[in-house]
């Protein structure tokens, strides 16, 4: 799918949302979110061998528009369409334009900010990369249970299922699929947030994901044999191959959010990720991002 067809998808999603919002309720609350920032990943390609590791930074833009419908005092439904783009400094094959939509249903078990809540979310997106190998459709389901214990402290835990439908199948190893970016996985997470002051919000999250992971390597028959799919990956160079394995990824994430006013904030996040994949292969990466968020 090219850039223009992605825009067409976004336009159709926006029109559908507009119609839904108009017909569902005249009292819908319109939401507009814009995030703009930069990210850095120390092991962008999840390489195993030190010599293969590639780090890079990117500019990341994200915009969403939608509406919130208060179905009752305890139930709310948020429908939104969004578009995102990542533009990398060195590895331009990873540049992407994505469009998608999300539906989030939230139910509060009682009255007041301290009432526990449950959130159910379904999302779908299409991602168009400059390097076609990565073009894919994504879908995710998420459930989360949470509670705000005080005005300044809240916690939540949950699980999710993610599915990525790879578009391209270009096998390079006989008998092994080339659909490297055809992935699925299940995750569980727990997170807490604490507002140190009116402006500063700190957060911490631990997550574990079991499922397919994609990494890249130079030609390595031992890795290829252990892989479920292998394909040439020119995004990192002509001698690189992307491969898919089953693995478990543990992520620890710390975040700090500085409120600029009621509608905007400056956010910093750092994540330490470790993946233990089939065959005893371990990937480590550290990533950080700075994002300016605005919401109307």
Partner 1 sequence: MRTSTLCAVAILAAGAAHAQAAEIAVTVTDAQGQPVADAVVVAVPADGNPQPPAKVERPRGGVVDQVDKEFTPKVTAILVGTAVTFPNHDNVRHQVYSFSPAKRFELPLYAGSPAEPVVFDKPGVVVLGCNIHDWMVGYVYVSESPYFAKTGRDGKALLAELPPRVYSVRVWHPQLEAAEETTRKSVDVSQSRRVDAEWKIALKREVKIRRAPAAEGRGRY
* Interface with partner 1 (CB under 8 A): 27-29, 33, 35, 37, 68, 70, 72-74, 76, 108, 111-113, 115, 148, 150-152, 162, 164, 183, 185, 193, 195, 197-199, 201, 203, 207, 209, 211-214, 249, 251, 253, 255, 257, 259-265, 267, 269, 271, 273, 289, 291, 293-295
Least separation in angstroms between CB 269 and partner 1? 5
Contact 70, 76 (CB under 8 A): yes
Least separation in angstroms between CB 174 and partner 1? 27
Token reading at 60: 């990341």
Q: Which residues pair with 1 in a beta bridge?
A: none
* Strand extents, DSSP E, 48-199: 56-70, 75-88, 96-108, 117-129, 136-148, 153-166, 183-195
- Give the nearer residue to partner 1 in terms of CB position, either 25 or 176: 25
Least separation in angstroms between CB 28 and partner 1? 8
- CA 3 vs CA 14, 79, 83, 197: distances in Å: 17, 24, 12, 43
Least separation in angstroms between CB 183 and partner 1? 6
**DSSP letters of 193-218?**
EEESSSSEEEEEEEEEEEEEEEEEEE
DSSP 110: S
Q: Which residues pair with 119 in a beta bridge?
A: 106, 144
Least separation in angstroms between CB 221 and partner 1? 25
- Give the nearer residue to partner 1 in terms of CB position, either 178 or 193: 193
- Give the nearer residue to partner 1 in terms of CB position, either 11 or 149: 149
Least separation in angstroms between CB 257 and partner 1? 4
Q: Which residues pair with 97 in a beta bridge?
A: 85, 128
- Give the nearer residue to partner 1 in terms of CB position, either 133 or 239: 133
- Give the nearer residue to partner 1 in terms of CB position, either 230 or 244: 244
- Give the nearer residue to partner 1 in terms of CB position, either 27 or 50: 27
Least separation in angstroms between CB 14 and partner 1? 20
**DSSP letters of 231-262?**
EE-GGG-TTEEEEEEEEEEEEEEEEEEEEEET
* Longest Cα–Cα distance in the chain: 61
Contact 269, 35 (CB under 8 A): no
- Give the nearer residue to partner 1 in terms of CB position, either 51 or 85: 85
- Give the nearer residue to partner 1 in terms of CB position, either 46 or 230: 46
Least separation in angstroms between CB 4 and partner 1? 24
- CA 70 vs CA 24, 26, 28, 104, 263: distances in Å: 11, 11, 7, 12, 20
């Amino acid at each position: 799918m090219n850039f223009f067809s992605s825009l067409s998808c976004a336009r159709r999603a926006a029109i559908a949302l507009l119609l839904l919002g108009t017909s569902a309720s005249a009292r819908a609350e319109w939401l507009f979110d814009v995030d703009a920032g930069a990210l850095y990943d120390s092991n962008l390609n999840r390489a195993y061998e030190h010599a293969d590791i590639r780090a890079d930074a990117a500019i990341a833009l994200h915009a969403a528009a939608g509406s919130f419908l208060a179905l009752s005092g305890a139930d709310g439904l948020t429908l939104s369409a969004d578009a995102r783009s990542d533009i990398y400094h060195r590895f331009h094959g990873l540049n992407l334009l994505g469009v998608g939509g999300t539906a989030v249903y939230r139910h509060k078990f009682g009255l007041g900010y301290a009432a526990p809540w449950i959130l159910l979310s379904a999302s779908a997106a299409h991602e168009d990369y400059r390097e076609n190998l990565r073009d894919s459709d994504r879908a995710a389901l998420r459930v989360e249970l949470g509670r705000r214990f005080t005005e300044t402290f809240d916690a939540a835990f949950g699980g999710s299922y993610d599915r990525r439908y790879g578009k391209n199948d270009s096998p390079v190893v006989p008998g092994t699929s080339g659909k490297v970016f055809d992935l699925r996985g299940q995750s569980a997470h727990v997170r807490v947030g604490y507002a140190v002051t009116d402006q500063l919000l700190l957060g911490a999250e631990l997550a574990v994901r079991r499922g397919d992971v994609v990494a890249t390597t130079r030609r390595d028959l031992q890795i290829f044999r252990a892989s479920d799919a292998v394909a040439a990956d020119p995004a990192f160079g002509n001698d690189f191959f992307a491969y898919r394995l089953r693995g478990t990824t543990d992520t620890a994430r710390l975040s700090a959010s500085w409120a600029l006013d009621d509608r905007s904030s400056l956010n910093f996040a750092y994540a330490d990720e470790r993946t233990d994949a089939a065959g005893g292969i371990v990937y480590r990466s550290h990533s950080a991002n700075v994002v300016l968020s605005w919401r109307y």
